Structure 1
Amino acid sequence: MSRDGKVVTMSQESQPATALAEAAATAGHAPSVHNTQPWSWRVLPDALELRSVADRQLAASDPEGRLLAVSCGAALHHARVALAAQGWRAVVRRRPDPDDSALLARLTDLSRVPADPEAMRLVQCMRVRHTDRRPVSDEPVPISALDQITRAVTGEGGRLHILDRDQVLELAATAGQAHAVEAEDPELRAELAYWTSRADAGTGLTAEVLPEQPAQTTVPGRDFGRPGSLPIGPGHDQAAAYAMLHGDEDGPDSWLRAGEALSAGWLTATRLGVSVVPLSAVVEVPGTRQTLRQLLSGIGFPYLVLRLGIADPAHAGPPHTPRLTTAQVVDTSAVR
């Protein structure tokens, strides 16, 4: 079944092009910065191409395209997992054309393999995964869960550094500094206002997923410039774990891989009942991104900070963010 609810028969599933189209549709569940969904897919008879969409890049806060590439990498991992769940193996060629920077990946050379049970479970996690910005409960994240999430990230070539208490306090100060810098930038404020006022547009952050007031937490959340309607309750983040997704390089290839690692870690967290909230403001500001690198002792480049926690079970969480339709992001004209 596709993201739009279309039932696919077993005979159809045996066709590579249909499997690729279904994988691209399923990838629409992937997380992206401000829910920009900055990707598009082109289905060919024997390949699937992933492209970035410049119109959905955050020109003010992400001029280098770091967060765009991370977002697209998450979609790429979603598509790979969806293929594995259907019983297909594909060769992934990342950034296959040096002269076409928008072409991020091509999945080719499909072959039949047994359906992967773990991939099938992760596809189910894609459908329920969401970002819950409420304060977490007082229940700490089990060490075993952090270990599994870390292994999932590592399995995709990324690294996850769990911050100790002193580093969390430094992160809190760094996040506050990043928010102060962005609050003084009119272009950044205008960009944020745009992506938080796109009701019924299929992208962006609706009021229902944004806190109605700032939470009293150690690490401040982003000020979206307007209150949402999500009740936050009396909780705190004292039981949360904070982690830094990072790697050895800081270029387009590594950003794409970081997105794949993010997806793997987030889906694993969802399977384990762990809430994930990405904190991107601290990597958007050059000065605070450098501070994060110092937390890594200068041996890695930070891509994203994650808050990991157990959601408060006493209050209903936010709805899912809106999504573009499959027809808007998946081009199947070459196989019709």
Structure 2
Amino acid sequence: MTEQATQALVGAAQTARLAPSVHNTQPWRWVVRGDRLELHAVPARQLQEQDPSGRLMLVSCGAALHHALVGLAAEGWTAEVERPAGEPLAVVRAVAHEPADPHAMQRLQLLQVRHTDRRVVSPEPVPPGVRQALVDAARQAGARLHVLRRDEVLQLAVMVEHADEAHRRDERMRAETASWVGGDRPEGSGVPAAVLPAELPLTTVAERDFGVTGTLAAGEGHDTAASYAVLYGDADEPDHWLRAGEALGEVWLCATGHGTTVLPLSSPVELDFTRQALRRMLSDTGYPYLVLRLGVADPDHAGPPHTPRLPAEQIIEVVE
């Protein structure tokens, strides 16, 4: 059983390579020890200027943990998860095996097609039932999702404008962004030009201006049909950031299954003054971790390519 469990855990770590991360930094490392899979953060791939607290790094690691668990379930494994305070961030154990469940296999397939889409969304609004399904998915994964009203979306647009202006004025932030965004990204991390719009699309809430020209056709029209939501929770501590990442993975999986695109907006949570403004929008009932733009995918156009991934041998270690 141990050898079989070890192989399953290596496969789960491989699945976790598909997870989303801030600027595609992939700030995680996996160590497989028999029937034990350890998740570690990699501070060397943390955004020191935009994420000095490591909040977004741990949200990214939580998304990777979510993907690993989906991968295990698709292989028929029941897993137990410990989340220690500190390192490792999580320990996953494969404890029982049975024939794979078709629903679990379908969830894995959804992760394999999931991607970040910065194009203009279709003019069809996200159905209320889908929005509720996303709210439920976040709650089941240990966080909460607040879908913004129209007046709150306009407030968000102002926050994002202020956050982007602050970034543009900060030379160190601009330099950090330039080191992760643009070009072909042959080293396997970062955001390549192929997934960035050739020109910023017309949106109610501005997309992040990375300061580089992409090659992706942004699409026509204005995203008036887009929905915006805040992923948040009860506390603003590292264990909650990890849980938020797991919830992000579950919300994104649910959205993909409903033909809904997701675009994370991290700039409002990177700065103290906009993060506090978001908290006031939540009536001080929680702490914001990330903002999401939601839209109906355009069925007539294929999505953008997937962002590159680091080689498996760079992030997965098997200890004999």
Q: Tell me which interval the TM-score lies in, with the shorter structure as reference length.
A: over 0.9
The alpha carbon displacement at 1:32 in A equals: 0.4
Instruction: Give 2:117's aligned amino acid.
Output: D
From 20, 27, 48, the equivalent of 1:38 is 27
The alpha carbon displacement at 1:153 in A equals: 1.1
Instruction: Give 1:183's aligned amino acid.
Output: R
Q: Does 1:327 align with 2:316?
A: no
The alpha carbon displacement at 1:314 in A equals: 3.6
The alpha carbon displacement at 1:85 in A equals: 1.2
From 5, 15, 18, the equivalent of 1:26 is 15
Q: Does 1:279 align with 2:279?
A: no
Aligned pair in 2 of structure 1 residues 114, 13: CA closer, same or farther (>3 Å)?
Answer: farther
CA contact (8 A) 1:53 1:102 kept: no
2:95 — aligned with what? 110
The alpha carbon displacement at 1:13 in A equals: 11
From 64, 67, 88, the equivalent of 1:78 is 67
Instruction: Give 1:81's aligned amino acid.
Output: V
1:146-185 equivalent positions in 2, closer than 5 A: 146-185=131-170
Q: Equivalent residue of 1:259, what SS?
A: helix
Q: Does 1:261 align with 2:247?
A: yes
Q: Equivalent residue of 2:123, what SS?
A: coil
Percent of counterpart pairs with the same letter? 54
CA contact (8 A) 2:36 2:92 kept: yes
| Matches of 1:35 and 1:51, distance apart in 2 | 17
| Matches of 1:310 and 1:329, distance apart in 2 | 34
CA contact (8 A) 1:90 1:110 kept: yes
Q: Equivalent residue of 1:31, what SS?
A: coil
The alpha carbon displacement at 1:147 in A equals: 1.4
| Matches of 1:43 and 1:75, distance apart in 2 | 15
Q: Equivalent residue of 1:136, what SS?
A: coil
From 113, 119, 129, the equivalent of 2:114 is 129
Q: Does 1:202 align with 2:191?
A: no
Task: Give deviations 1:159-217, integer Å, cap 9, x for gaps.
Answer: 00000000000000111010001111111100100001462010000000011111121
The alpha carbon displacement at 1:14 in A equals: 7.5
| Matches of 1:105 and 1:58, distance apart in 2 | 21
| Matches of 1:116 and 1:200, distance apart in 2 | 37
| Matches of 1:30 and 1:315, distance apart in 2 | 23
Task: Give deviations 1:305-328, integer Å, cap 9, x for gaps.
Answer: 000001233433210000112111
1:69 — aligned with what? 58
Task: Give deviations 1:281-328, integer Å, cap 9, x for gaps.
Answer: 000011001000010001100000000001233433210000112111
Q: Does 1:217 align with 2:203?
A: yes
| Matches of 1:195 and 1:115, distance apart in 2 | 38
Instruction: Give 1:105's aligned amino acid.
Output: A
Q: Equivalent residue of 1:89, what SS?
A: strand
From 28, 32, 53, the equivalent of 2:42 is 53
Runs of 4+ in 1 over 4 A off after TM superposition: none
CA contact (8 A) 1:13 1:19 kept: no
Any gaps of 5 or more consecutive residues in structure 1?
Answer: 1-11
1:7 — aligned with what? none
1:90-101 equivalent positions in 2, closer than 5 A: 90-94=79-83, 96=84, 98=85, 101=86
Q: Which shows bigger deviation, 322-331 or 22-31? A: 322-331
Any gaps of 5 or more consecutive residues in structure 2?
Answer: none
| Matches of 1:280 and 1:287, distance apart in 2 | 14
Instruction: Give 1:148's aligned amino acid.
Output: A
Instruction: Give 1:324's aligned amino acid.
Output: L
Q: Equivalent residue of 1:175, what SS?
A: helix
Aligned pair in 2 of structure 1 residues 224, 152: CA closer, same or farther (>3 Å)?
Answer: same
| Matches of 1:118 and 1:40, distance apart in 2 | 28
1:294 — aligned with what? 280
| Matches of 1:173 and 1:181, distance apart in 2 | 12
CA contact (8 A) 1:269 1:275 kept: yes
CA contact (8 A) 1:93 1:107 kept: yes
